[in-house]
């Protein structure tokens, strides 16, 4: 019985069977929840269909709760969490399980009495429903792997990026502060300019106006952008290594001449 539940809840391999339909149903339900969060943010829609949103919210949370409880209960079927109580607890601490819990928590907190201010923040937790989909999207696993593999490179790139940002922003602050005390009011404030510039977003809400500031800003832009493009480049190459499977064409060994496929 529990084994059956476990199989049904785990991602199905062959389309058409019950487990597959359950997956589909959950994917649709999660998507609808995300859509609801987005739609609800549009005032006219929220006001008009508030009842509908509330009903759908209750409906989804109940189903998600059942899903969560079943997953928790059936976890013992998994070799890693086979121990009766300890296993379930260990499963409850896995990222996906925590996401499932956080996705429903905001609904139950009011009952156990929480002040409203805190609740407003808790509503953000409904966003975790977006992450529930992660279990089903392969693309996210790929990204996950890429980040893992490129950990070292990304760390170096981010350190350099931050170092560059700190240095340029501090310099710019000293150069522009007097001319624009309201915009370049402090180094953290100037960092906002630094990010907007080095990422080439350039909103235009803040930019140097003094000759020296423009000279420095120009130099920073030309030299610094290369640094900020590093994480992008690293990610991109990581993905292409994963996705560009055609790259795995057979290589022939110069020693024995036999062909084999690069991993």
**Residues between 145 and 174 with contacts to a second copy, criterion CB under 8 A:** 152-153, 155-161, 163, 166-167, 170-171, 173-174
Rule CB under 8 A: say whether 66 interacts with a second copy: no
| Count of beta carbons in the 10 Å neighbourhood of residue 163 | 11
CB of 239 to a second copy, least distance (A): 6
CB of 174 to a second copy, least distance (A): 6
Our CB check for a second copy shows the closer of 32 and 227 to be: 227
Using CB under 8 A, pick the residue from 50, 58, 145, 185 that binds a second copy: 185
Our CB check for a second copy shows the closer of 14 and 258 to be: 258
Rule CB under 8 A: say whether 33 interacts with a second copy: no
| Count of beta carbons in the 10 Å neighbourhood of residue 183 | 17
Cβ pair 196, 168 in contact under 8 A: no
Q: Which helix (H) or strand (E) holds 90?
A: helix 84-92
Rule CB under 8 A: say whether 144 interacts with a second copy: no
Cβ pair 170, 187 in contact under 8 A: yes
Our CB check for a second copy shows the closer of 5 and 225 to be: 225
Nearest to 144 by CA among 40, 49, 239, 48: 239
Cβ pair 8, 22 in contact under 8 A: yes
Rule CB under 8 A: say whether 122 interacts with a second copy: no
Beta bridge partners, 261, equal 250
Site string for a second copy, 189-228 (x = CB under 8 A): --xx--xxx-xxxxxxx-x---x--x--xx--xxx-xxxx
Nearest to 37 by CA among 131, 134, 156, 116: 131
Under DSSP, is residue 251 helix (H, G, I), strand (E, B) or coil?
strand
CB of 88 to a second copy, least distance (A): 30
Our CB check for a second copy shows the closer of 82 and 226 to be: 226
Rule CB under 8 A: say whether 11 interacts with a second copy: no
Distance CA 50, CA 39 (A): 11
Our CB check for a second copy shows the closer of 87 and 213 to be: 213
Nearest to 33 by CA among 10, 1, 48, 55: 55
Rule CB under 8 A: say whether 36 interacts with a second copy: no
**Residues between 41 and 60 with contacts to a second copy, criterion CB under 8 A:** 41-43
CB of 152 to a second copy, least distance (A): 7
Rule CB under 8 A: say whether 136 interacts with a second copy: no
Cβ pair 92, 101 in contact under 8 A: yes
CB of 164 to a second copy, least distance (A): 9
What angle separates helix 211-243 from helix 151-176, to the nearest 10 degrees?
170
Rule CB under 8 A: say whether 230 interacts with a second copy: yes
């Amino acid at each position: 019985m529990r084994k059956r539940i476990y199989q049904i809840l785990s991602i199905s391999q062959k389309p058409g069977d019950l487990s597959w339909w359950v997956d589909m149903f959950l994917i649709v339900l999660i998507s609808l929840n995300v859509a609801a969060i987005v739609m609800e943010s549009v005032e006219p829609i929220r006001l008009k269909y508030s009842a509908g949103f509330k009903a759908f919210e209750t409906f989804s949370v109940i189903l998600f709760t059942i899903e969560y409880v079943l997953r928790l209960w059936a976890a013992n079927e998994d070799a890693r969490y086979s121990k009766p109580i300890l296993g379930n607890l260990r499963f409850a601490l896995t990222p996906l399980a925590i996401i499932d819990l956080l996705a429903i928590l905001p609904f139950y907190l009011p009952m156990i009495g929480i002040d409203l201010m805190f609740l407003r923040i808790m509503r953000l937790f409904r966003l975790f429903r977006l992450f529930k989909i992660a279990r089903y999207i392969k693309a996210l696993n790929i990204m996950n792997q890429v980040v893992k593999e490129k950990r070292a490179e990304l760390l170096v790139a981010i350190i350099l990026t931050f170092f560059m940002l700190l240095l340029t922003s501090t310099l710019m602050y000293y150069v522009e502060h007097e001319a624009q005390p309201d915009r370049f009011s402090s180094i953290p404030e100037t960092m906002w300019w630094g990010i907007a510039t080095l990422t080439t977003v350039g909103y235009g809400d803040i930019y140097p106006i003094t000759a020296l500031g423009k000279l420095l800003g120009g130099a920073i832009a030309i030299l610094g952008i290369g640094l900020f493009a590093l994480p992008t480049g690293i990610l991109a190459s990581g993905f292409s290594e994963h996705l560009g499977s055609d790259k795995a064409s057979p290589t022939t060994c110069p020693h024995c001449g036999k062909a084999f496929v690069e991993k």
